[in-house]
């Protein structure tokens, strides 16, 4: 029973603590606060007119709980500047600041400030004024609040791999496919922008999942030893589909399983320390050892060596430290009340900032030897790990992997992941398109594959990787480059070799009777065709190679024969899915249908001679009417609806992500629908519905930024005419498959207005998206806004005013390094914001 109570206690420890409020005294309202409420709020929220059921005149008569609820509502309205209304008397900045500070202080005193919790979430990151952060006036010492930070889904996967001490190919394999008996209990929010923050908590559902995970892991840890001891047959599996297990059990665990008598305290201690090292990557303390030795011995007395040992393994796996990153700091507080991260905390913080794996041996050694305390210590380790090409190497996004796509494997996936999350182009997978509207080329994600959006995301990833590899003017290049990757299945050297072999085949055989005597032509040129992998030269019965040979020859005729370069994979090959060149407004490639049946007598050579895209083997390459990721089809699709473009969403992204601006959410009372009108473009319909006074208060910050991107349709294709897709405008009906309906069109108006850069030379009217992007890329505010998002990504929280110097230093690091993103990362991970912690109650 003692063990059962202990296991229950461990499980409960995973759940967030519940603070029980005690009876509190009524809140006294100071005279200056009462006077301010009366002066600015009394007209609408007094005894005579209690709009929204708020009566501030009765504040002093309410119960404490009711006072706190009302003060929270007032605090929100003042902080977010939604009250007083714009047409009412406004408090001075001094009055507003005084009110907000009193409200926040009083609510914090009672542990009831809902604003504090709200401001921790990503959607509220921009509510710290940009000028306050970069103006150089804030002198407060930077720190991060002490915290328990839930691990990310990726970190959880790596921690399970560490428990089994997997390395090399086996580790890579299970990183991709997962374990049959382990369910990852963590899911990041589905949004554009930074997604992994420190505000998450566990719930009962997560606890149940982890209990099942822990039991499965413990069984696998002991299985090899139990088979060796004769407790299990080597072919005995509870689930025949789950036959994997480590080939060896850790020696300290095996010694107890193989022992026929009860283990000694020394053996129990060795087993406990072994599990702590695998699971928590540290040694158990003396207190932990005493507790675990006693409880493991009790469990062994009740169930035997293997069963009792299993209970200990499970219990360690349920330690909250396995699921949380603990960052409380250690040592004496400095003059600002801050403490440095303890060396072990620092090693974990650095490792998880740069990747998903825990610290490597060198970082752990530095921590244990007292060489992870100073800023220079942090710099040394961060720069070393950034230069390490193998330790964090992994796929950028294993979820892309399927029948056709394998995610790019890079040295530091987390650096790529920042830009994926910042730009939000992975959202393309969540948008379902009507394929016939594209002319049939666009394929939605389906079971086993990610379709066209998967390819677009993969190609956007490759562009990000290319810019990061150059590591110069990274932000500007991502916004303005005219270089793109499309269908890049082979590197330049391999692609050029493939095309050279194919060209040699076509040039030598085009004058032969390859259409009428294919078997003879194959026999005469067996070695040439085999070297080019067009046929299997070892095959004696060449008629079996007829389909492959003729398919390639007709493919070469359609490409080389018309002066273009074929794509380095034939459309008739198994699993071919490269059909989306039109998303970039490029010509199509030959399709599989064109070569079906080439080996039969019934085959009729197509009489049409369409002009196909001449494939650029050397990539990236220039594409007309494209400029950076904001014109990449992946971003355009991600910021569109199922059937239309979404200029409002695109404009809001630019306002919030690039200009550090704020746009309130749509009020629940507003029916945000664009009306149908067969005679008007989407832009005209959007302008009609959003230009009334109430709507324009918010839409003025979005529409002028998003409407220039109307020069791209919802598939990401460049256009100068908008198809007014309405039955009244139908010109010609398609076939519902690969021929789209044709409608009347109207010219695209791509003009807009850039505002909010803080630079009069950049703000103003723009003729199109390309001009807007050029101006954005030159904006200091845009650069600093990206720095702010990088801060959130690598520190897992929103900025505070005290982080001002950290952000200024990171911005200066980018500028002085000619736009190196790695310089930004080093600056952030050696900042006071990263190094120091401060108890929550001591925050300003």
For 381-430, the three-class secondary structure string (H helix, E strand, C coil) is HHHHHHHCCCCCCEECCHHHCCCCCCCCEECCHHHHHHHHHHHCHHHHHH
Question: 326 is written with which tokens?
Answer: 């603990």
Q: How far is CA 243 from CA 237, 238, 307, 659, in A?
A: 7, 9, 20, 53
Q: Is residue 800 part of a domain?
A: no
Cβ proximity of 799 and 133 under 8 Å:
yes
Q: Is residue 11 part of a domain?
A: no
Q: Is residue 806 part of a domain?
A: no
Cβ proximity of 654 and 706 under 8 Å:
yes
Question: 86 is written with which tokens?
Answer: 């714009």
Counting every residue, how long is the chain?
844
Long-range contacts of 255-263 (CB under 8 A, 24+ apart): 256/305, 256/309, 257/222, 257/225, 257/226, 257/228, 257/229, 257/231, 257/305, 257/306, 257/309, 258/225, 258/228, 258/229, 259/305, 262/297, 262/300, 262/301, 262/305, 263/300, 263/305
Q: HSE of 189 in the Cβ direction (CA atoms, 13 Å)?
A: 13
What is the rounded distance in angstroms from the CA atom of residue 700 to the CA atom of residue 37?
31
Q: Is residue 450 part of a domain?
A: no
Residues 296 and 166 in one domain: yes
Residues 171 and 38 in one domain: no
- pLDDT confidence of residue 24: 55
Residues 83 and 164 in one domain: no
Q: Which of 116, 145, 172 is the last residue of a domain?
A: 116
Specify which residues 326 forms β-bridges with.
148
Q: Is the pTM of this model over 0.85?
A: yes
H or E element in which residue 208 lies: helix 204-229
What is the rounded distance in angstroms from the CA atom of residue 203 to the CA atom of residue 200?
10
Q: HSE of 285 in the Cβ direction (CA atoms, 13 Å)?
A: 2
Specify which residues 410 forms β-bridges with.
394
- pLDDT confidence of residue 35: 77
**DSSP for 105-148?**
HHHHHTT--HHHHHTTSGGGGGGS-HHHHHSS---PPP-EE-EE
Residues 177 and 78 in one domain: no
* Percent composition of the chain: helix, strand, coil (DSSP 3-state, to 5): 50, 5, 40
Residues 55 and 110 in one domain: yes
Helix (H, G, I), strand (E, B) or coil at 646: coil
Q: Is residue 372 part of a domain?
A: no
Residues 98 and 45 in one domain: yes
- pLDDT confidence of residue 21: 39
Question: 563 is written with which tokens?
Answer: 């002066």
Question: 97 is written with which tokens?
Answer: 């600041």
What is the rounded distance in angstroms from the CA atom of residue 210 to the CA atom of residue 184?
9
| 339-340: strand order across its sheet | 144-145, 836-838, 339-340
- pLDDT confidence of residue 509: 97
CB atoms within 10 A of CB 248: 12
H or E element in which residue 743 lies: strand 742-743
What is the rounded distance in angstroms from the CA atom of residue 415 to the CA atom of residue 418?
5
Q: HSE of 670 in the Cβ direction (CA atoms, 13 Å)?
A: 14
Q: Which of 279, 300, 322 is the last residue of a domain?
A: 322
- pLDDT confidence of residue 22: 42
Q: Is residue 776 part of a domain?
A: no
Residues 93 and 172 in one domain: no
Residues 102 and 160 in one domain: no
What is the rounded distance in angstroms from the CA atom of residue 714 to the CA atom of residue 373?
52
CA max distance for the chain: 104
Residues 110 and 161 in one domain: no
Residues 175 and 250 in one domain: yes
Residues 102 and 162 in one domain: no
Residues 57 and 178 in one domain: no
Parallel, antiparallel or unpaired: strands 836-838 and 339-340? antiparallel
Q: Which of 322, 338, 357 is the last residue of a domain?
A: 322
Question: Which backbone phi and psi does 184 adopt, to 5 degrees?
Answer: -70, 115
- pLDDT confidence of residue 665: 75
Q: Is residue 545 part of a domain?
A: yes
Q: Which residues does the chain have with pLDDT short of 50?
A: 1-3, 5, 8, 12, 15-23, 843-844
Tracing tokens 């401060």 back to the chain, one arrives at 838
Closest among 748, 389, 404, 820 to 576, alpha carbons compared: 404
- pLDDT confidence of residue 30: 83
What is the rounded distance in angstroms from the CA atom of residue 484 to the CA atom of residue 620?
5
Q: Is residue 526 part of a domain?
A: yes
What is the rounded distance in angstroms from the CA atom of residue 349 to the CA atom of residue 698?
39
If one counts the domains in the chain, the total is 3
Helix (H, G, I), strand (E, B) or coil at 73: helix
Closest among 606, 612, 566 to 588, alpha carbons compared: 612
Specify which residues 617 forms β-bridges with.
none
- pLDDT confidence of residue 301: 95
| Residue 42 structural domain | 31-116
């Amino acid at each position: 029973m003692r063990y059962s109570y202990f296991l229950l206690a461990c499980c409960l420890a995973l759940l967030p603590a519940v603070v029980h409020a005690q009876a509190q005294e009524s809140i006294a309202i100071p005279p200056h606060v009462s006077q301010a409420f009366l002066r600015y709020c009394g007209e609408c929220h007094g005894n005579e007119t209690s709009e929204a059921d708020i009566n501030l005149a009765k504040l002093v008569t309410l119960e404490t709980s009711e006072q706190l609820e009302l003060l929270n509502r007032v605090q929100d309205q003042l902080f977010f500047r939604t009250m007083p209304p714009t047409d009412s008397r406004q408090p001075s900045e001094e009055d507003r600041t005084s009110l907000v500070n009193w409200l926040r202080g009083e609510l914090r005193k009672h542990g009831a400030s809902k604003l504090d919790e709200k401001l921790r979430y990503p959607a509220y990151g921009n509510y710290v004024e940009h000028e306050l952060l970069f103006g150089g006036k804030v002198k407060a010492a930077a720190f991060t609040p002490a915290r328990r930070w839930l691990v990310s889904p990726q970190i959880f996967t790596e921690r399970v791999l560490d428990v089994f001490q997997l390395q090399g190919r086996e580790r890579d394999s299970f990183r991709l496919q997962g374990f049959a008996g382990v369910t990852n209990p963590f899911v990041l929010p589905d949004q554009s922008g930074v997604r992994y923050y420190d505000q998450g908590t566990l719930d009962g559902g997560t606890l149940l999942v982890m209990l099942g995970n822990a039991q499965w892991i413990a069984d696998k840890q002991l299985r090899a030893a139990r088979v060796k001891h004769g407790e299990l047959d080597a072919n005995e599996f509870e689930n025949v589909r789950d036959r994997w297990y480590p080939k060896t059990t850790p020696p300290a665990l095996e010694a107890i399983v193989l022992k026929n008598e009860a283990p000694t305290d020394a053996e129990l201690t060795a087993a406990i320390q072994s599990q702590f090292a695998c699971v928590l990557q540290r040694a158990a303390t003396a207190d932990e050892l005493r507790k675990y030795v006693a409880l493991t011995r009790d469990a062994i007395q009740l169930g035997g060596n293997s069963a009792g040992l299993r209970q200990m393994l499970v219990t360690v796996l349920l330690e909250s430290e396995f699921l949380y990153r603990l960052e409380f700091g250690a040592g004496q507080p400095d003059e600002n009340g801050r403490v440095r991260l303890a060396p072990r905390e620092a090693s974990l913080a650095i490792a998880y900032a740069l990747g998903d794996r825990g610290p490597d041996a060198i970082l752990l050694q530095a921590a244990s030897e007292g060489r992870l305390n100073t800023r220079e210590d942090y710099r040394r380790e961060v720069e070393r790990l950034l230069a390490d090409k193998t330790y964090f190497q992994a796929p950028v996004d294993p979820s892309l992997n399927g029948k056709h796509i394998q995610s790019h494997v890079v040295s530091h996936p987390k650096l790529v992941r920042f830009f994926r999350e910042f730009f939000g182009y992975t959202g393309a997978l969540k948008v379902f398109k009507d394929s016939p509207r594209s002319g049939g080329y666009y394929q939605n994600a389906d079971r086993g594959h990610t379709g066209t959006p998967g390819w677009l995301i993969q190609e956007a990833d490759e562009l990000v990787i290319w810019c990061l590899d150059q590591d110069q003017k990274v932000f500007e290049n991502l916004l303005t480059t005219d270089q793109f990757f499309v269908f890049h299945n082979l590197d330049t050297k391999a692609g050029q070799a493939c095309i050279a072999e194919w060209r040699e085949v076509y040039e030598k055989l085009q004058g032969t009777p390859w259409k009428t005597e294919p078997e003879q032509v194959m026999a005469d040129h067996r070695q040439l065709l085999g070297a080019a992998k067009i046929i299997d030269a070892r095959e004696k019965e060449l008629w079996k190679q007829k389909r492959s040979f003729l398919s390639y020859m007709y493919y070469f005729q359609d490409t080389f024969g018309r002066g273009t370069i074929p794509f380095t994979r034939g459309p008739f090959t198994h699993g071919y899915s490269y059909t989306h060149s039109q998303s970039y407004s490029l010509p199509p490639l030959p399709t599989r249908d064109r070569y079906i049946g080439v080996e039969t007598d019934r085959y009729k050579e197509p009489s049409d001679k369409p002009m196909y895209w001449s494939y650029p083997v050397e990539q990236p390459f220039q594409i007309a009417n494209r400029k950076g990721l904001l014109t990449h089809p992946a971003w355009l699709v991600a910021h569109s609806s199922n059937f239309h473009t979404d200029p409002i969403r695109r404009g809001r992204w630019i306002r919030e992500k690039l200009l550090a601006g704020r746009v309130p959410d749509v009020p629940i009372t507003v029916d945000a629908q664009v009306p149908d009108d067969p005679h008007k473009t989407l832009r005209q319909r959007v302008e009609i519905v959003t230009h009334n006074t109430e709507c324009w208060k918010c839409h003025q910050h979005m529409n002028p930024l998003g409407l220039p991107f109307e020069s791209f349709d919802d598939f990401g294709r460049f256009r100068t005419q908008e198809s007014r897709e309405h039955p009244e405008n139908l010109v010609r009906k398609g076939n519902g498959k690969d021929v789209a309906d044709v409608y009347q069109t109207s010219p695209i108006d791509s003009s807009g207005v850039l505002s909010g850069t803080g630079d009069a030379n950049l703000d103003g009217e723009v003729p199109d998206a390309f001009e807007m992007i050029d101006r954005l890329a030159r904006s200091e505010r845009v650069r600093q806004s990206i720095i702010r998002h990088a801060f959130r990504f690598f520190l897992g929280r929103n900025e505070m005013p005290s982080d001002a110097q950290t952000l200024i230093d990171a911005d200066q690091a980018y500028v002085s390094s000619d736009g190196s993103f790695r310089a930004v990362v080093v600056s952030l991970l050696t900042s006071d914001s990263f190094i120091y912690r401060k108890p929550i109650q001591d925050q300003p």
